[in-house]
Amino acid sequence: MSREGESFLLVLDTYSPNVVSTANTNCTVQFNVNWATVIPTNKYKKFKCRVAFKSEMQINSSSNLISPPQICNGVGLISVDFGRKNIYGCNQSLQTIGFIYPIVNVLLTFTTNIYGQSYYSSNYNDNIDFYCDYPVNNLFTVNLINSPNQVTATPYMSYMKPWKMFINFTGIIEDE
């Protein structure tokens, strides 16, 4: 039997000084995180985790009233490689910890132009919990990938705006 302990929050931000490298598109970002500053060492060995995500607003316009402006479309998957296969309760082959989906806020028409505003998002309740061992590698990569279940001619994750991701780690206390 196990029970939950304290919770710790890791905020990943594409503007963060913890970013080691990034594709110009923000869909593949490598972070350097000192885990001891986020999660106390030797207190917990396993964690229940939840993920939330939000990208910056994408604003596009089109002067052609027949074709609307390019807005965020298609569902994406969040894949994280903590440096070893230590994630459970999710798609372990892809290390997928959640998904993101587009939110279209406004489509406005002004005489000859159409304006679209959209962003990618997911909340803690949108994704299932996953479990992971205490991370051992300070360098890890976050990949935002197109969902394999959608067919599209545009690799929409490659146009990702800067984003923030929140991972809540709740320690698991193993009863003896």
- How do residues 25-49 score in pLDDT, each as one tens digit? 788 889 999 999 999 888 898 899 9
Average model confidence (pLDDT) for the chain?
A: 79
CA–CA distance, 130 with 22 (Å, rounded to integer)? 25
**CA-based torsion, 82, 29, 152, 62: positive or negative:** positive
Task: Please compute the mean of the pLDDT values over residues 83-98 and round it to a whole number.
Answer: 66
pLDDT of residue 151: 52
**Which of 50-59, 92-101, 152-161 has the highest average model confidence (pLDDT)?**
50-59
Lowest mean pLDDT among 52-56, 125-129, 154-158: 154-158
Q: Please, which pLDDT band fits residue 90 given cuts at 50, 70 and 90?
A: low
27 by Cβ neighbours in 10 Å (0-12 / 13-18 / 19+) ranks as buried
Identify the helix (H) or strand (E) that includes residue 37: helix 35-38
Backbone φ and ψ of 27, nearest 5°: -90, -15
CA–CA distance, 169 with 172 (Å, rounded to integer)? 9
DSSP state for residue 14 in the 8-state scheme: T
pLDDT exceeds 90 at position 120: no
Coil, helix or strand at residue 70: coil
Model confidence, pTM: 0.82
pLDDT exceeds 70 at position 70: no
